[in-house]
A and B are shown apart, each in its own frame.
Chain A
Amino acid sequence: MILAADPLLVDGIDLTVVLIVLLKAGVAFALLLVAVMLVIWFERKLISDMQNRIGPALAGPWGILQTLADGIKLFFKEDLLPTRADRVVFRLAPYLSIIPAFVAFAIVPVGGDFSDGGDGTVSMFGRSTFLQVADPPVGVLFFLALSAVAVYGVMLAGWSSGSKYPLLGSVRASAQMISYEAALGLAIATVFLSSGSLSTHDIVVGQSATTWNVLATGIVPFGIFLIAGTAELNRPPFDLVEAEQELVGGFHTEYSSIRFALFFLSEFMNMITMSAIAVTLFLGGPAGPIVTQRVAWVWPLFWFFLKVMAFLFTFVWLRATLPRFRYDQLMDLGWKVLIPAALGWFLLIATLDVAADLGWPTIPVVIVGVLVLWGGASLLSGAVRKAQAERLEEADRGADETAGSASGLGEA
């Protein structure tokens, strides 16, 4: 049984260990905050380039300090508390939003040599350790749990504002985020099949031994993860939570000053974390094609950041290109496409793994598996189609009877 354990912590805890842990935590925070600053600038600059604008250009070279300037400005802004707000919850909500965003990043291995069966340890002050803040044995589950906690931040922020747009936004947020959380979990489950562990470190090690999970699990779970992840982040085209044209600012409409900045920070931090998790789970984490002997410790970091950047670029690209889904279309995509697809694919991959384990021939197993899944899916979707037809018929019949009461509803 592999129990992931950071070698740093195996031999008991002394002062050096505590210092190293604190150092790692400090570096992680600094890294995260600087990264958020740069990512916000990156997004603004990139999207303005795509939209034929200049974007931030005045604060610092190429406007790179724009985010810092905005942040400082927000420090000096008055903090407003709406009259009808629920005071305690209103103040609590930013914490619930940003702390999960901070903590989730702790489980991501950002560096360490994973090539040629390396286990990613680095030595630091004479101790060997992993380049990640913590490696709990159920790391990925921890990430899922934190992203579920983040729903509370958004939901309570909207509800406690005592205002209508935030309320509508938060109702949307809670339904959207929990729906896609299910799809996200199922997509990740497929990774566990090939990795056999819930620890992020072990998953990366497993990928360096064989192929990256994006291929090992077939492309489908990766695609589902990307879509569900985008929805989980409330990024376009799934940004219904803060749909500006409908709900103005969505859940954070009533927030001002530094509390607003915290929501803003957490949104971008989640974006970085989600990209990093995607890299960890599917794209081999810090592993990369080129690792030289000299300055060997730089290359994993380089590959990791390159991959994360690719995801961040994709998120910005999606925002620049796509219109927003409507709520029911979003839910349809989540419940009627992604979840069934994820379930089916999960079973298929599991079957293949078991078959490979028992030495059954692969191709017949694939054919039989696909046939069974296809049969089951078409059976169920046939039932749904029939039910829909029946319901429409019923609605047609019911229309005349209820026309009177419906007009009453309209005048209410």
Chain B
Amino acid sequence: MNDVANRNQLAYIAAQASDARVNVEFESEGMTLNLGPQHPATHGTLRVIVKLDGERVLRADPMMGYMHRGYEKLAEVRTYPQVTTLVNRIDWLGSFANEVPFILAAEQLMEVEAPPRAQWIRTILFELSRIANVILFLGDMGVQLGAVTPVFFAFRDREFVLNQIEAVTGGRFHPNFDRIGGLKDDLPKGWIEETTGVLDRIRTFCDEMEDLVTGNEIFQARTRGIGVIPAEVGLAYGLSGANIRASGVDWDLRRDGGVGLVHDQVDWKVWTHPDGDSFARYWVRLQEVREACGIIEQLLGGIPSGPVMAKVPRIIKVPAGEAYVETENPLGVMGYYVVSKGDLVPFRVKIRSASFNNISITPWVLEGTYVPDVVSILASLYFILGDIDR
């Protein structure tokens, strides 16, 4: 662990402890409390064991694996096209985005490239699934702090995004649409205009969230200065996505990685926030939804014509070799390390999912906080259980 950060944290606790001396009449053994696996705050089966002194957290340990489904192992007995069906279910809120890095890795091994039109549509769907994922976070953050209304607004407007995804792929939650060498199908007629309308709705939703949540004094008091993650600590724990950008690290694979997707064709901005607290993580995500709307809008205007599928053999055998491709998924960096022995099935697939790394910082960040902040910090780190346990 990072020495500087460790020291800061200890100094913080010491400061709290020296203040506490006024009130402490006896040294208590503390209370061990399980938050999860079945708890309203953990939207899934995450278990956090917190050791409490009063309501102050002395130590917090996340326990993962209650939802482990063994996708890495299962992928070893599935042919390459079949794997997308599995990985859809990793981050179930932005499912299309899960398929993309795997397909890109397979394409890299086979040395095929999707035609431009497929790449553009891929990028559009990728960003749509980002919106579908992140606006639920924007609503959920309110729920975790006790304001239940935003999440219903989020679900309302998420429907429209899902409708658009369904119109193209046929699947609302699990599209299974990406193919090695391109896409299963082309866009339906009139889809582009409809999507533009949906983007306006999403922008309105963002404005609503600014009114209802961001500017609220209680919300600010509950999130500003809470759960501060300095950039070096975040990097040391392998945080990615909006979590690390909220700590001021200007790193986004859509701009800096640039494999297979066409984010470099449009004009957009990577948002960062210097504070690194819960509010910053919320704020950065809110801006990213807006930015994603802009990206999609520009892409919609310039989809090149042509086929959506490259020439790929009917039965896909991937030549021996290994490839690692990572993309900037809604939750952070998601990567697939694919090893092929030249068979119909991959020899080994290692999935680097964003939430697993994001959640591993919890013992550090929760130490010395209070029970209510445990919930808000966990919410602001934004994990999906499927993405942790795979």
Contacts and interface: CB of A to CB of B under 8 A. Distances in A.
Given A52-B153, A409-B58, A326 B17 contact: no
Nearest to A320: B149
B178 to A, nearest CB: 33
B161 interface: no
B371 to A, nearest CB: 5
B23 interface: no
Contacts of B372: 240, 243, 246, 324, 326-327
Contacts of B19: 391, 395
Contacts of B374: 246
A137 to B, nearest CB: 40
A403 B218 contact: no
B258 interface: no
B216 A326 contact: no
A164 B30 CA distance: 12
B33 A164 contact: yes
Contacts of A325: 218, 221-222
A243 B222 CA distance: 14
Interface string B338-371: 0000000000000000000000000000010011
Contacts of B11: 399-400, 403
A398 B15 contact: yes
Contact of A410 (B59, B146, B148, B149): B59
B18 interface: yes
B10 interface: yes
Interface in B136-166: 142-149, 152-153, 156
Contact of B14 (A248, A398, A412): A398
Contact of A324 (B7, B39, B58, B145): B145
A168 interface: yes
Interface string A171-211: 00000000000000000000000000000000000000000
B274 interface: no
Interface in A245-260: 245-248
A100 interface: no
Interface string A298-321: 000000000000000000000111
Interface in B1-55: 7, 10-15, 17-19, 29-31, 33, 39-41, 53, 55
Contacts of A245: 40-41, 143-146, 375
A4 B370 CA distance: 49
B370 A406 contact: no
A322 B216 contact: yes
A244 interface: yes
B45 to A, nearest CB: 15
B236 interface: no
B187 interface: no
A169 to B, nearest CB: 11
B99 interface: no
A326 B375 contact: no
Contacts of A164: 31, 33
Question: Which of the listed residues A245, A246, A325, A327 has the most CB atoms from chain B within 10 Å of its own CB?
Answer: A245
B373 interface: yes
A329 interface: yes
State which size class the interface on B falls in: 35 or more
Contact of B17 (A51, A323, A400, A406): A406
Contact of B149 (A51, A401, A403, A407): A51
A14 interface: no
A51 B58 contact: no
A353 B115 CA distance: 85
Contacts of B146: 236-237, 239, 243-245, 322-324
A405 to B, nearest CB: 7
Interface in A367-412: 391, 394-396, 398-403, 405-407, 409-412
A50 interface: yes
B212 interface: yes
Contacts of B147: 236, 321-324
A244 B29 CA distance: 26
A395 B39 CA distance: 36
B173 interface: no
Contacts of A248: 39-40
A214 B30 CA distance: 47
B156 A168 contact: no
Given A329-B221, A399-B14, A410 B367 contact: yes
B337 interface: no
Contacts of B213: 323
B145 A323 contact: yes
B251 interface: no
A53 interface: yes
A342 B153 CA distance: 38
A409 B17 contact: yes
A50 B33 contact: no
A64 B13 CA distance: 53
A403 B10 contact: yes
Given A51-B148, A326-B373, A405 B17 contact: yes
Interface in B207-249: 212-213, 216, 218-219, 221-222
A42 to B, nearest CB: 17
Interface string A326-355: 111100000000000000000000000000
Question: Which of the listed residues B15, B59, B143, B146 has the most CB atoms from chain A within 10 Å of its own CB?
Answer: B146
The 3 residue pairs across chains A and B that have the minimum distance between CB atoms? A324-B146, A323-B145, A395-B15
Interface of B: 7, 10-15, 17-19, 29-31, 33, 39-41, 53, 55, 58-59, 142-149, 152-153, 156, 212-213, 216, 218-219, 221-222, 367, 370-375
Given A245-B375, A324-B372, 5 more contacts: A245-B144, A245-B146, A322-B147, A324-B146, A326-B372
Interface of A: 50-53, 164-165, 168, 236-237, 239-240, 243-248, 319-329, 391, 394-396, 398-403, 405-407, 409-412
